[in-house]
């Protein structure tokens, strides 16, 4: 917190208004003058309080519109366990859904072969989907499987998670994954597929999944709408 008691007074007032429900997610904050009079401080102190709350991501500020309470993301995706996107959605009480864009077997690219340690003439099953919550797009998924699972998806419930599909089709268990996470700006094809606003950032979760025997079997690129999904993990000190 600030060493300025007046700034802290404004911050505490705003936080109390949010906690009590007087200010709800996406609500505009009162004007600088209104808050200055309410807290009996200068408008510079109000601006200082807003600056700190923006830094702490409790409020957001747009130069044209002003400051508003940050809208909270409804979904948490844990990074310290293997969780399907479908479970992430249903755990929060939403109805999961899948929109298939493409499903085919293709020659493995140079990058696919490098990542999954495949032979030069290998093929991969490529699955392109949009995962939805109550019919609203949440995640764009590009999955590359180092096995032919086309028959499984052609004859089974296509809402099944990719993990279960692979394990049931190949009789191999996915045991762990190596994960990278990266912030992505507007990408025309993916952002439009997710109905994302140009200012709505994406988070790319790139994962290589391995069987219990250490064989890479699934290469996933999942693009999450950052306005809907927050990532969470537990980190232990070594």
The pLDDT of residue 153 = 66
Cα 94 to Cα 75: distance, rounded to the nearest angstrom: 10
DSSP string, 4-68: -HHHHHHHHHHHHHHHHTSS-TTPBPPPHHHHHHHHTS-HHHHHHHHHHHHHTTSEEEETTTEEE
What stretches in the chain show pLDDT beneath 70?
Answer: 1-2, 152-160
What is the DSSP track for 126-142? EEEEEEEETTEEEEEEE
pLDDT value for 200? 84
**Per-residue pLDDT at 121:** 92
CB 79 within 8 A of CB 95: no
Q: Token pair of 150, please? A: 């086309």
What domains can you pick out in the chain, each with its CATH number?
5-69 (1.10.10.10), 75-232 (3.40.1410.10)
What pLDDT is attached to residue 233?
Answer: 84
**CA–CA dist 236, 238 (Å, integer):** 6
Strands 96-107, 174-184: parallel, antiparallel or unpaired by DSSP?
Answer: unpaired
CB atoms within 10 A of CB 26: 11
Buried b or exposed e, range 62-81, using 16+ CB within 10 angstroms: eeeeebbbbeeeebebeeee
pLDDT for the residue numbered 35: 95
The b/e string for 7-20 (b: 16+ C-beta within 10 A; e otherwise) is: bbbbbebbbebbee
Rounded alpha-carbon distances, angstroms, from residue 9 to 32, 49, 143, 146, 194: 14, 8, 50, 58, 40
Instruction: Please report the pLDDT score of residue 160 as a whole number.
Output: 63
Give the pLDDT confidence score for residue 2 in this predicted structure: 62
- Can you point out the beta strands (E) in 74-201? 75-78, 96-107, 123-133, 136-145, 174-184
Greatest CA span in the chain, whole angstroms? 73
Kindly state the helix (H) or strand (E) to which residue 220 belongs, with its residue range: strand 216-225
Residue 56 vs residues 101, 128, 166, 191, 215: alpha-carbon distances, Å = 38, 36, 41, 26, 42
pLDDT at 169: 81
Which has the closest alpha carbon to 115: 24, 228, 217?
A: 217
> pLDDT tens, 13-30?
999 999 999 999 999 999
Specify the pLDDT at position 1: 61
């Amino acid at each position: 917190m600030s060493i300025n008691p007046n700034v802290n007074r404004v911050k505490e007032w705003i936080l109390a208004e949010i906690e009590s429900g007087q200010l709800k997610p996406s609500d505009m904050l009162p004007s600088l003058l209104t808050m200055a009079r309410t807290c009996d401080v200068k408008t510079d102190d109000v601006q200082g309080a807003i600056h700190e709350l923006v830094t702490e991501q409790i409020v957001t500020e747009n130069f044209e519109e002003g400051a508003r309470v940050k809208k909270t993301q409804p979904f948490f995706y844990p990074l310290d366990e293997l969780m399907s996107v479908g479970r992430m959605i249903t755990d929060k009480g939403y109805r999961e859904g899948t929109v298939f864009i493409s499903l085919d077997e293709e020659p493995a690219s140079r990058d696919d072969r490098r990542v999954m340690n495949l032979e030069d003439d290998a093929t991969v099953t490529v699955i392109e989907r949009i995962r939805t919550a109550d019919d609203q797009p949440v995640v764009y998924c590009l999955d590359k499987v180092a096995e032919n699972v086309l028959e499984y998806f052609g004859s089974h419930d296509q809402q099944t998670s990719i993990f279960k599909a692979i394990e049931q089709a190949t009789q191999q268990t996915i045991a762990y994954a190596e994960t990278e996470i990266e912030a992505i700006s507007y990408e025309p094809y993916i952002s439009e597929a997710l109905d994302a606003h140009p200012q709505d950032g994406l988070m790319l979760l790139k994962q290589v999944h391995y069987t219990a025997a250490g064989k890479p079997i699934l290469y996933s690129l999942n693009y999450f709408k950052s306005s809907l999904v927050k990532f969470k993990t537990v980190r232990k000190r070594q």
